[in-house]
Structure 1
Amino acid sequence: MTPGQIVFRNGTSSSGKSSIARELLGLLDDGVYSHLSVDAFNAMRAQRELSRQEFDAGLRRTRLGFHRSVAAMRRGGQRPGGGPRTQRAMAADRLPGRTPPEDVLLVGVHCPREELERRERARGDREAGLAALQYDLVHAHGDYDLECDTSTASPRARAERIRDFLPHRPTPTAFSRLRARYSVE
């Protein structure tokens, strides 16, 4: 079985990652793709009140499980897409060394702070200020294969751009460069 390709969309809360993923799933017709979401993994955790230490430890385990699941689906021939949200997660230290960096497309999903705040208010299902809190951290690593601004085009247009870019991934990929930068094996 041929392993699948991974499309990571990285952006703050409310930046449009999930909207792009839904559109992308409908556009990709050369195999089976799946959308894996960190939010879905977080929703699997117990929702009881936790101390800060318990919460931080649980969040680390959840993200580790998420990234291992992405790698496992890839090895099984699926083409997962996920959205890590922190520099540390994006540094590729969670995907096992058997995931070839050339199989990972890293997409930066950007949106102006004012628009993120408007979207958070409109959604009503997110902690107010979460996107602002993540804003400076999420893209701190500064390296992507492709970037898009969801305030200037529809999720469909952004998904089409990703689809059209897939056959033209750069060498080395951003994932390769991040692995080298952080000496991850």
Structure 2
Amino acid sequence: MYPQIILLNGTGSSGKTSIANTLIEQLPVQYLNFSIDSVLYALPPSDLEKMMEGKAITRQGYDYPTLVRGYHQAAKGLANAGCKLILDNAWIPDEEKRDMLEAFSEFDVCLVGVKCHLLVAMERERQRGDRAIGLAESEYNHVHTNMNYDFEVDTTTLSPQANTDKIMTFLKNKPVLSGASISKKELEQIA
């Protein structure tokens, strides 16, 4: 009844993780909340601190695109083992989006766009203190381009619970999910 993967895509500080944490408690079946942060928090603490401050990581071998591809492959491995997943990230470059869609093309996926007014996301980012200031703004005009969502929520004024309720209602209606059959044509549309 529920998809194997629920994917939340939106800018930093748009509320993806808050929705994921609320959603994981309400789903009647076991899901793992596997965010890109799960991978980033495995970085050396000094490098993670640099990232959160918006500074360059200069350690030899560091490559953000490789981390994202690794995240996709780790999630694919969990899904292949039979785990149900909630994934959240801000997929920005089309290359990352294409890699993500290819990695999960064999699974039943629900793609959820998490939208938020830029000024609200920027204020949340400032209040959090654990993200580089300017991240939400740098992602804002790119995160939702070339993405076809099954469902969208807006966290500008609605709480994580209210948005989770909307997602749960959507999932209970068992719609045909676009992510469930990602075609080569759709992948090719992401130039």
TM-score (normalizing by structure 2): 0.81
Match of 2:141, SS? helix
Query: Post-superposition shift, 1:179?
Result: 4.8
AA paired with 1:50?
Answer: I
- Whether 1:89 aligns to 2:73 is no
The equivalent position to 2:36 in structure 1, one of 35, 38, 47, is 38
Indicate conservation of the 8 Å contact 1:150/1:158, yes or no.
yes
Could you say if the C-alpha distance between residues 95 and 16 of structure 1 is closer, same or farther in structure 2, counting changes exceeding 3 Å? same
Indicate conservation of the 8 Å contact 2:150/2:177, yes or no.
no
For residue 69 of structure 2, what is the aligned residue in structure 1?
A: 64
Query: Post-superposition shift, 1:176?
Result: 3.5
Query: Post-superposition shift, 1:22?
Result: 0.6
Could you say if the C-alpha distance between residues 51 and 177 of structure 1 is closer, same or farther in structure 2, counting changes exceeding 3 Å? same
For residue 129 of structure 2, what is the aligned residue in structure 1?
A: 124
Give the Cα separation in 1 of the matches to 2:22 and 2:4. Answer: 17
Identity %: 32
Query: Post-superposition shift, 1:120?
Result: 0.8
Give the Cα separation in 2 of the matches to 1:96 and 1:146. Answer: 17
Q: Give runs of aligned pairs for residues 92-171 of structure 1, distance below 5 A.
A: 92-95=100-103, 99-100=106-107, 103-171=108-176
Match of 1:137, SS? coil
Give the Cα separation in 1 of the matches to 2:140 and 2:80. Answer: 32
Give the Cα separation in 1 of the matches to 2:59 and 2:146. Answer: 26
TM-score (normalizing by structure 1): 0.83
Match of 2:142, SS? helix
Match of 1:14, SS? coil
Could you say if the C-alpha distance between residues 11 and 26 of structure 1 is closer, same or farther in structure 2, counting changes exceeding 3 Å? same
Q: Structure 1: state its 5+ residue gaps.
A: none
Indicate conservation of the 8 Å contact 2:101/2:182, yes or no.
no
- Whether 1:8 aligns to 2:7 is yes
AA paired with 2:143?
Answer: V
Query: Post-superposition shift, 1:89?
Result: 2.7
Could you say if the C-alpha distance between residues 175 and 14 of structure 1 is closer, same or farther in structure 2, counting changes exceeding 3 Å? farther
Could you say if the C-alpha distance between residues 165 and 128 of structure 1 is closer, same or farther in structure 2, counting changes exceeding 3 Å? same
Could you say if the C-alpha distance between residues 136 and 175 of structure 1 is closer, same or farther in structure 2, counting changes exceeding 3 Å? farther
AA paired with 2:15?
Answer: G
Indicate conservation of the 8 Å contact 2:10/2:90, yes or no.
yes
Indicate conservation of the 8 Å contact 2:112/2:151, yes or no.
yes
For residue 26 of structure 2, what is the aligned residue in structure 1?
A: 27
Q: Structure 2: state its 5+ residue gaps.
A: 48-55
